[in-house]
Amino acid sequence: MLALYYYPGNASLLPHMMLREIGVPFEMRLVDRGSNAQKSPEYLKLNPNGRIPVLIDDDLVLFETAAIALHLADKFPQAGLSPAVGTKERAEFYKWMVHLTNTPQAEYRAWFYPHEHVSDEAAAPAAKQAAERRLYRMFDVISEQLGDRAWLLGDRFSAADLFLFMLIRWGRGMPRPPRMLSNLDALAERVIARPAVQEAFRVEGIQAPFF
């Protein structure tokens, strides 16, 4: 039995899009952020960090988006969301999954929650601005690395593209959103055109603009 604890548009969107791509049955369990349910005693038993998402896979309770994504890619190899273990392509896949989770995704924490990064609340806007500048640089590097290739791994679509797409989407409210980089915009257009991704957005109730 697979179940995903989610909130619309949150980091749970990556495993959600993957589960739709894979096409297996799974349960969606909404974590009501309106009532801070991610910090409730019940949820903290699943993820002591109080963060979304969590994946349940029978008796496995897994937190950390990238770990969930890697597990799903491995558990359902027929979906082709990651290259074969031991190949050079797989190494590139690891590089992007790790880079995306510990660089832009982590930086977004500072952008979305700047008050967590300062001791004086008045310093929060400056902390947010600094995070934004770092995010711009990170997306510039990703854009340079992507170049004119269709996907992060070249011709081959993978879970890393879904991850990058989610991060592009999170920046849509920035003065210089990631989609202003034309190759990131084109990648996001290719991802949003996928029926599995559209279904994930429909189920989460996410309306346009999508990124």
Ligand X SMILES: N[C@@H](CCC(=O)N[C@@H](CS)C(=O)NCC(=O)O)C(=O)O
**CA 174/CA 111 separation, integer angstroms:** 10
Contact indicator for 29, 4 with CB cutoff of 8 Å: yes
| Structure token digits, residue 30 | 């909404």
Stretch that binds ligand X, among 58-66, 118-126, 130-138, 159-167 (CB under 6 A): 58-66
Stretch that binds ligand X, among 48-56, 74-82, 127-135, 180-188 (CB under 6 A): 48-56
Q: How far is the CB of 126 from ligand X (least distance, A)?
A: 21
Q: List all residues 6 or more positions away from 114 whose beta carbon is below 8 Å from its beta carbon.
A: 124, 125, 127, 128, 131
Residues 68-127 that bind ligand X (CB under 6 A): 109
Total interface residues for ligand X by CB under 6 A: 10
- The single residue among 19, 21, 46, 65 that binds ligand X, judged by CB under 6 A, is 65
- The single residue among 22, 52, 100, 142 that binds ligand X, judged by CB under 6 A, is 52
Residues 9-38 that bind ligand X (CB under 6 A): 10-11, 38
| 169 binds ligand X, rule: CB under 6 A | no
Alpha-helix runs per DSSP H in the chain: 13-22, 41-46, 65-75, 88-102, 104-112, 124-146, 159-170, 182-192, 195-204
